């Protein structure tokens, strides 16, 4: 009798534990720079080798439309009747490092908070173009070296100060030396900010940049903060930020909750003339554990959450299928997981090895290991199939999974008497394959290791370092910044204009390389694969010297074709993100700009200024 009772008790407890474990956390990568999902490419090769630029432009998938197999939530006009009042509690991935736009490194959770308090000059529309926000219009001179912006009048900061052109001049003094903004100032070659009059400001660049407004979408340069408050209390600004945004800081309890309340003097109205925002308050709760964050939403502890993890997206979908009363806003943009080959590290300096290893990477198996089947689109280039920059030609040129072709290339290298790694003919090559120590990432690289090892010609050394070490390993140390990594998991690209990242990341990786090509002083530590091609560099410079889309498209396509040929980096799958909400939350998908166009979602950062609760 006693034994039976004990058995029943033990069984019940075991079942409960298993259920909890199965339904609980599925922590994906904690890495913001690590590889994400992968999937096989299904793109159809273009048979025509030569295509006119204008014809190519016509083939581009219209921005904002859905690519085949895409799981993005479509942007739709808000049809619910708006309500004022209520509190929205959002579960965030982490606490914000800080809320100083010019100073603090900011990822999705931090951006969610920063943008509730600060407005940017311009914003990105759902179709990827740049639209008005605090700036109503803008124009460049013929050489794209001077950009003049007209500003909204009657905008005030939370402390009552007026927002004028001089504000941007004062902000620039902090941005020039801001830990976060200084790099963007350098990348944009921004020399000076001039107040032409109270509501007109001029940005003066040191060189042409036809996509300069794209830098103002980014918070370090574009988020408008009250510069006098920032100067008065530089360190304390994070606890009491002053912007022009829809919400003002009410309570900042680090690692627990940050509460912002409605800004009664917010400058923006909705299309019917109702003053924004609708919500009384928003509470941000950092909940690092993925499972707990989803459970918090499902149990009503929060009523919204964000995630960048495929496992959590999968669990949220399951919960919805099981009847959970939630709305899922899925989005995957250009950000694409994959990795890089360090060209400083033989045998990775040889294109046969890089192409061979990429060919032997079964993206289907990798995506399965990551749990991203049916969630992430395959990646073949810097852009997703929804992007106006996407190229079918590049997709066809990317070395997709073909084990035999890959093996043949490695074999050719291994039997080459002049092989670059100094080993004897016939000896296996040795590569280090490294990802941050996340269970799903480890599973994914184990798949890759098995494939490469199965060729019989590759010795793979798997390593895992924490996130910061992983980045530092690829970055190397100042002043040379030559990372000693091998094959390294990484994430590439963003929703922003291609120039904002490509021009920097494909610049000369050492001062010596720069000097060899007559580019004295042009150098970047963020060329992580240590790959430089003077033609690519020329195309990239040309692409910021024109604002004709077709011309720019053709140039970026040439860049991507070269990358597909030389394979310094490889792609797996585009990064899926999710905003999950109670079904009575509306206005987060389908928010509009002052000109009536739709804004974009992007990277699980909700725009809260038009959010409301329907009942």
Find the binder of another protein among 69, 300, 426, 439 (CB under 8 A): 300
| Buried-exposed string 370-382: b where 16+ CB fall within 10 A, e elsewhere | bbbeebbbbbbbb
- Is 95 near another protein (CB under 8 A)? yes
Interacting stretch for another protein, rule CB under 8 A, among 13-21, 327-335, 370-378, 412-420?
13-21
Dihedral over alpha carbons 288, 292, 293, 296 (to 10 degrees): -140
Instruction: Output the smallest distance, CB 294 to another protein, in A.
Output: 10
- Is 240 near another protein (CB under 8 A)? no
Q: Is 476 left (phi over 0), alpha (psi -120 to 50) or beta?
A: left
Residue whose CB is less far from another protein, 296 or 387: 296
- Is 478 near another protein (CB under 8 A)? yes
d(CA 315, CA 328): 11
Interacting stretch for another protein, rule CB under 8 A, among 274-282, 283-291, 395-403, 512-520?
283-291
Q: How many CB atoms lie within 10 A of CB 547?
A: 14
Find the binder of another protein among 11, 12, 13, 54 (CB under 8 A): 13
Instruction: Output the smallest distance, CB 263 to another protein, in A.
Output: 23
Using CB under 8 A, which residues numbered 491 to 530 contact another protein?
Answer: 504, 523-526
- Is 388 near another protein (CB under 8 A)? no
Residue whose CB is less far from another protein, 255 or 459: 255
- Is 105 near another protein (CB under 8 A)? yes
Find the binder of another protein among 80, 146, 173, 257 (CB under 8 A): 257
d(CA 512, CA 287): 46
Give me the sheet containing 304-307, strands edge to edge: 247-253, 257-262, 281-286, 87-92, 304-307, 569-582, 326-341, 487-492, 429-435, 458-464
Find the binder of another protein among 28, 72, 104, 582 (CB under 8 A): 104
Using CB under 8 A, which residues numbered 153 to 192 contact another protein?
Answer: 177, 179-187
CA angle 519, 524, 528 (to 5 degrees): 125
d(CA 101, CA 178): 9
Q: How many CB atoms lie within 10 A of CB 406?
A: 25
Residues 91, 600 contacting (CB under 8 angstroms): no
Using CB under 8 A, which residues numbered 46 to 85 contact another protein?
Answer: none
Question: Hey, what are 330's tokens?
Answer: 């899925």
- Output the CA torsion sign for 368, 374, 378, 384: negative
Question: Hey, what are 147's tokens?
Answer: 């950009």
- Output the CA torsion sign for 545, 548, 549, 550: negative
- Is 288 near another protein (CB under 8 A)? yes
Instruction: Output the smallest distance, CB 128 to another protein, in A.
Output: 20
User: What are the DSSP calls for 564-578, one per residue?
Assistant: HHH-SEEEEEEEEEE
Find the binder of another protein among 255, 404, 416, 535 (CB under 8 A): 255
Find the binder of another protein among 296, 303, 440, 610 (CB under 8 A): 296
Question: Hey, what are 401's tokens?
Answer: 């999974």
Residue whose CB is less far from another protein, 422 or 478: 478
Placement of tokens 């109205």 in the chain: 269
Site string for another protein, 190-229 (x = CB under 8 A): ----------------------------x-x---------
Interacting stretch for another protein, rule CB under 8 A, among 10-18, 330-338, 355-363, 512-520?
10-18
Instruction: Output the smallest distance, CB 250 to another protein, in A.
Output: 12
Interacting stretch for another protein, rule CB under 8 A, among 160-168, 406-414, 465-473, 573-581?
465-473
- Is 464 near another protein (CB under 8 A)? no
Residue whose CB is less far from another protein, 2 or 47: 2
Instruction: Output the smallest distance, CB 407 to another protein, in A.
Output: 34
Interacting stretch for another protein, rule CB under 8 A, among 164-172, 438-446, 470-478, 588-596?
470-478
Instruction: Output the smallest distance, CB 18 to another protein, in A.
Output: 10
Dihedral over alpha carbons 298, 70, 361, 430 (to 10 degrees): -60
3-state secondary structure (DSSP) of residue 508: coil
Residue whose CB is less far from another protein, 100 or 359: 100
370's CB contacts (< 8 A; 6+ apart) are: 28, 36, 37, 38, 310, 376, 440, 441, 443, 444, 573
- Is 548 near another protein (CB under 8 A)? no
Instruction: Output the smallest distance, CB 461 to another protein, in A.
Output: 16
Angle of the 310-321 helix axis to the 290-299 helix axis, nearest 10: 30
Pairing mode of beta strands 281-286, 87-92: parallel
Residue whose CB is less far from another protein, 4 or 47: 4
Tell me the number of residues near another protein by CB under 8 A. 76
- Is 475 near another protein (CB under 8 A)? yes
d(CA 615, CA 611): 13
Residue whose CB is less far from another protein, 417 or 478: 478
- Is 473 near another protein (CB under 8 A)? yes
Where do runs of H (alpha helix) occur along 95-140?
108-117
- Is 9 near another protein (CB under 8 A)? yes
- Is 261 near another protein (CB under 8 A)? no
Instruction: Output the smallest distance, CB 104 to another protein, in A.
Output: 7
d(CA 155, CA 266): 8
Find the binder of another protein among 8, 12, 17, 207 (CB under 8 A): 17
520's CB contacts (< 8 A; 6+ apart) are: 511, 514
3-state secondary structure (DSSP) of residue 274: coil
Instruction: Output the smallest distance, CB 120 to another protein, in A.
Output: 16
- Is 11 near another protein (CB under 8 A)? no
- Is 6 near another protein (CB under 8 A)? yes
Peptide bond into 229 cis (omega under 30): no
- Is 245 near another protein (CB under 8 A)? no
Find the binder of another protein among 51, 97, 446, 463 (CB under 8 A): 97
Find the binder of another protein among 137, 162, 256, 415 (CB under 8 A): 256
Instruction: Output the smallest distance, CB 186 to another protein, in A.
Output: 5
- Is 293 near another protein (CB under 8 A)? yes
* Strand spans (E) along 111-243: 122-124, 130-132, 135-140, 146-151, 190-197, 200-205
Interacting stretch for another protein, rule CB under 8 A, among 119-127, 272-280, 292-300, 395-403?
292-300
Question: Hey, what are 66's tokens?
Answer: 């859905």
- Is 380 near another protein (CB under 8 A)? no
Rg (the chain; Cα; Å): 25
């Amino acid at each position: 009798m006693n034994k039976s009772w004990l058995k029943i008790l033990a069984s019940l407890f075991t079942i409960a534990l298993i259920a909890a474990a199965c339904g609980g956390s599925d922590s994906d990568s904690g890495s913001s720079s690590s590889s994400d999902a992968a999937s096989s490419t299904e793109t159809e090769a273009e048979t025509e080798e030569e295509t006119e630029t204008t014809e190519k432009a016509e083939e581009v998938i219209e921005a904002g439309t859905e690519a085949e197999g895409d799981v993005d939530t479509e942007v739709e006009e808000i049809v619910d009747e708006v309500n004022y009042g209520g509190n929205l509690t959002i579960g965030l991935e982490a606490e914000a490092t800080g809320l100083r736009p010019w100073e603090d490194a900011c990822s999705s959770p931090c951006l969610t908070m920063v943008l509730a308090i600060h407005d940017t000059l311009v914003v990105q529309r759902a179709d990827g173009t740049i639209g008005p926000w605090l700036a109503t219009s803008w124009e460049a001179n013929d050489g794209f070296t001077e950009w003049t912006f007209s500003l909204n009048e009657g905008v005030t900061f939370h402390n009552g100060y007026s927002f004028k052109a001089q504000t941007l001049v004062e902000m620039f003094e902090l941005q020039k030396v801001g830990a976060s903004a200084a790099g963007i100032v350098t990348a944009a070659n921004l020399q000076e900010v001039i107040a032409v009059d109270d509501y007109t400001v001029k940005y003066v660049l040191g060189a042409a940049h036809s996509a300069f407004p794209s830098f103002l979408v980014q918070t370090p340069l574009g988020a408008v903060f009250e510069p006098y408050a920032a100067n008065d209390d530089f360190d304390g600004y994070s606890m009491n930020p002053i912007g022009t945004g829809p919400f003002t800081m009410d309570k900042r309890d680090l690692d627990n909750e940050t509460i912002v309340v409605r800004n009664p003097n917010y400058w923006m109205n909705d299309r019917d003339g109702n003053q924004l925002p609708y919500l009384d308050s928003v509470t941000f709760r950092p909940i690092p554990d993925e499972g707990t964050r989803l459970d918090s939403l499902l149990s009503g502890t929060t009523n919204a959450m964000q995630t960048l993890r495929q496992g959590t997206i999968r669990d949220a979908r399951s919960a919805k299928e099981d009847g959970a009363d939630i709305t899922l806003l899925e989005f995957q943009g250009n950000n694409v997981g994959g990795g890089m080959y360090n060209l400083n590290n033989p045998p990775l300096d040889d294109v046969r090895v890089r192409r061979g290893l990429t060919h032997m990477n079964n993206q289907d198996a990798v995506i399965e290991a990551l749990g991203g089947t049916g969630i992430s689109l395959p990646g073949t280039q810097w852009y997703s199939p929804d992007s106006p920059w996407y190229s079918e030609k590049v997709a066809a040129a990317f070395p997709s999974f073909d084990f035999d072709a890959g093996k043949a290339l490695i074999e050719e290298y291994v039997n080459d008497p002049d092989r670059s790694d100094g080993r004897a003919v016939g000896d296996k090559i040795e590569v280090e394959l490294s990802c941050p120590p996340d269970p799903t990432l480890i599973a994914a690289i184990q798949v890759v290791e098995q494939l490469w090892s199965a060729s019989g010609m590759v010795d793979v050394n798997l390593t895992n370092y924490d996130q910061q070490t992983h980045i530092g390993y690829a970055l190397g140390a100042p002043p040379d910044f030559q990372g000693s990594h091998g094959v390294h998991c990484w994430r590439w690209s963003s929703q922003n204009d291609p120039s904002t990242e490509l021009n920097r990341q494909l610049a000369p990786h050492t001062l010596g390389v720069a000097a060899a090509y007559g580019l004295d002083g042009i150098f970047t530590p963020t060329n992580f694969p240590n790959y430089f091609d003077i033609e690519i560099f020329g195309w990239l410079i040309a692409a910021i010297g024109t604002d004709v889309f077709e011309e720019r498209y053709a140039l970026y396509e040439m860049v991507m074709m070269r990358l597909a040929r030389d394979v310094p980096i490889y792609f797996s799958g585009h990064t899926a993100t999710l905003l999950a909400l109670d079904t009575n939350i509306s206005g987060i998908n389908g928010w509009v700009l002052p000109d009536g166009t739709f804004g974009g979602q992007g990277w699980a950062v909700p725009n809260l200024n038009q959010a409301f609760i329907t009942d």
